[in-house]
Amino acid sequence: MELFGISPQELLLIVVVAVIVFGQRLPQVAGEAAATVQKLRRALSDLRRESGIDQELQNARREIDQNVVRPFRDADLAGTIEREARAARTELQPTPETESATSATSEASPAPPPDLRGDDAAAGALKAPDPAERSDPRPG
């Protein structure tokens, strides 16, 4: 268990060093240190209040919330993505006009090379020749 990021062993070491250094005056020194820390906190609080930095930070947070966070929170991202996907699908689906145009261009275009057709004839054309079928009398 850590207290303020200090392990129990480190805390024990600090206490032992404080007892050795301050000895009998330790309670008085601890009280003075606590009073000094309290004065510093009070002064810092006064400074923040007088400078208006807290008000500025609050205004900045409010502005960020209104202009950045709230639009994302209110946005229907899933719905927007779904609508965009549906629109893209509709654009890509062939219509009767595009089907006839596609078939006309495919009739006019030459057949792809055998290795791109994917049929059995193309597979046979790409198959390595069988050494027994070789017409060359040289050994293989």
Per-residue pLDDT of 23-48, as tens digits, reads 899 999 999 999 999 999 999 989 88
Give the predicted TM-score (pTM) of the model: 0.36
**Alpha-carbon 51 to chain mean position:** 38
Query: CA-to-CA distance for 113 and 94, rounded, in angstroms?
Result: 26
Confidence band for 131, pLDDT divided at 50, 70 and 90: low
- SS3 of residue 67 by DSSP: helix
- For the cut 80, the answer to whether the pLDDT of residue 1 exceeds it is no
Query: CA-to-CA distance for 88 and 84, rounded, in angstroms?
Result: 6
Query: CA-to-CA distance for 95 and 84, rounded, in angstroms?
Result: 19
Structure tokens at 111: 């057949």
**pLDDT one-digit tens code per residue, 74-86:** 667 777 788 888 8
Q: Is the model more confident about 96 or about 49?
A: 49
Neighbours of 18 (CB within 10 A): 13
CA separation, residue 58 to residues 37, 64, 69 (Å): 26, 10, 15
Query: CA-to-CA distance for 26 and 19, rounded, in angstroms?
Result: 7
Phi, psi of 94 (to 5 degrees): -70, 140
**Alpha-carbon 90 to chain mean position:** 30
**pLDDT one-digit tens code per residue, 97-128:** 656 655 555 555 555 555 554 555 444 545 55
Phi, psi of 6 (to 5 degrees): -115, 125
